[in-house]
Amino acid sequence: MRIELSVNGEPCEADVWEGESLLYALRERLGLPGSKNACEQGECGSCSVLLDGKLVCACLVLAAQAEGHEIVTVEGLAEDGRLHKVQEAFVAAGAVQCGFCTPGLVVATADLLARNVYPSDDDIREALSGNLCRCTGYAKIFDAVRMAAASL
Amino acid sequence: MDVLTPRSLEQALRLKAERPDAVPIQGGTDVMVELNFDRARPAALLNLNEVAELRGWSRQNGRVWLGSGLTYAEAMERPLAEALPALAEAARTVGGPQIRNRGTIGGNLGTASPAGDALPPLLVCGAEVKIASVRGERIVPLPDFVVGPKRNVLAEDELILGVSVGGTESRQTFMKVGPRNAMVIAVVSLAVRVDGDLRAAFGSAGPVPTLVRAGLGDVDSFPQRVAEAASPIDDVRGTASYRRHALRILTRRALDRCLV
């Protein structure tokens, strides 16, 4: 089936299988591999995207459900060739090791800071509780979130 | 596989009558896992995301109406969270933010898992499930709605419209045991409400979430009665004896919270 949706501000169309996830459609049909495919059950957060401005796991959205809706992926955060403040902070803080969880954490952090400019450590912990990182132990990720919050 | 996307409740009920094999999908947090892991290949999916009638909540004659499309994130927001505090606390323990933005009360009812986090708070608040089909509507009290592990009374042409809940602004709380605060399927969960009588409802400690009631004079024996009402099993998440023990402790703590 064919779906029409908006991805990162651009209208686009994709031919999808009826049972496939939005994540599969983004990665395999629309050439946007930034959202990562890991657990496929909403446990790891590495496929986090914004659906009509709400943080969701793209693996748990049926591609057909995105018809007529607005998606923002990690590829859509940078503007005019400049990284998003959250991306800059992740680089500056060394919050990236293997990098697999990074796109999801960046999108989740951008979502947090869009709603809460002065997050407490508990706010950060709760906002990122749906994103797993197996490398960093989270300390530098927290540094990056605090740094990004301070820069906004 | 077909994806059917009705734009109104009337259309949704008609489609469900025409295609009883269509699996309803709202937030997708259960259905998509089945699809992603090749565990289910339904002939059709009924996408309820565009049915506005199923969304939101409202006050109705001293009770609260929760549309089946109400998300956990919405259940955590004031003023609904103040009207139904135990449901808000339970919602906050579901998955992570991504899951709470998509998962719905109606999905929890449809899946009817023994571990469904919304079910104990709804049970202590006297929830009645409203169901509809092209044949008409019916109301089923929640204890009669869930009939076994992942089994409910829905006929194949029926959809869940929502639940009507009482006990608003009463003393009530929710507790859940798991290895961490986020992303946890309950080892055991418990909602308690004190409002004229004592009510407790537990999850993950029997084939279905179960309601236990006693008089206000039975505060001391209530934790033991709740533990004895459970019929837990040993599984990957915990043992039956731990679950019974935890229920007794949680009931005591929940009563302490509600009786201040």
Q: Which CATH number is A101's domain given? A: 1.10.150.120
- Domain count along chain B: 1
pLDDT at B167: 85
Looking at the fold, whether A68 and A90 belong to one and the same domain comes out as no
pLDDT at A146: 98
CATH of the domain at B232: 3.30.390.50
Looking at the fold, whether A18 and A60 belong to one and the same domain comes out as yes
pLDDT at B169: 79
* Beta-carbon separation of B37 and A54 below 8 A: no
- Confidence class of residue B87 from pLDDT cuts 50, 70 and 90? very high
pLDDT at B91: 97
| DSSP letters spanning chain B | -EEE--SSHHHHHHHHHH-TTEEEESS-TTHHHHHHTTS---SEEEE-TT-GGGS-EEEETTEEEEETT-BHHHHTSTTHHHHSHHHHHHHHTSS-HHHHTT-BHHHHHHHT-TT-TTHHHHHHTT-EEEEEETTEEEEEEHHHHEEETTEE---TT-EEEEEEE--TTSEEEEEEE-SSSSS---SEEEEEEESSSEEEEEESSSSS-EEEEE-GGGTTTHHHHHHHH-----BTTB-HHHHHHHHHHHHHHHHHHHT-
Cα A3 vs. chain centroid, distance in angstroms? 21
Amino acid at B8: S
Looking at the fold, whether A15 and A72 belong to one and the same domain comes out as yes
- Confidence class of residue A152 from pLDDT cuts 50, 70 and 90? confident
Q: Taking the CA of residue A142 as centre, how many other CA atoms within 13 Å lie in the half-sphere pointing to its CB?
A: 12
Q: Is the pLDDT of residue A92 over 90?
A: yes
The domain of B202 spans 171-258
Residue B142 lies in a domain: no
Size of interface A-B (CB pairs under 8 A): 91
Q: Each residue of A110-135: b (16+ CB within 10 Å) or e?
A: bbbbeeeeebeeeebebbbbbbbbee
Q: Is the pLDDT of residue B95 over 90?
A: yes
- Model pTM score: 0.96
For chain A, first and last CA: distance in Å? 42
CATH of the domain at A29: 3.10.20.30
For all residues of chain B together, what is the average pLDDT? 96
pLDDT at B181: 83
* Beta-carbon separation of A19 and B27 below 8 A: no
Looking at the fold, whether A98 and A57 belong to one and the same domain comes out as no
Which residues of chain B have a CB within 8 Å of the CB of A43? 183
- Domain count along chain A: 2
Q: What token pair was written down for B66? A: 């929760």
Nearest to B32 among A1, A54, A59 (CB): A59
* Beta-carbon separation of A18 and B37 below 8 A: no
Which of A76, A95, A130 lies at the terminal end of a domain, its last residue? A76
- Confidence class of residue B260 from pLDDT cuts 50, 70 and 90? confident
pLDDT at B70: 98
| Span B172-186, pLDDT tens digits | 999 999 988 888 899
Looking at the fold, whether A120 and A54 belong to one and the same domain comes out as no
| Span A12-57, pLDDT tens digits | 999 999 999 999 999 999 999 999 999 999 999 999 999 999 999 9
| Averaged pLDDT for residues B40-68 | 97
Residue B244 lies in a domain: yes
The domain of A23 spans 2-76
Residue B179 lies in a domain: yes
- Confidence class of residue A128 from pLDDT cuts 50, 70 and 90? very high
Q: Is the pLDDT of residue B234 over 90?
A: yes
Query: Are the C-beta atoms of B121 and B90 separated by less than 8 Å?
Result: yes
Looking at the fold, whether A133 and A109 belong to one and the same domain comes out as yes
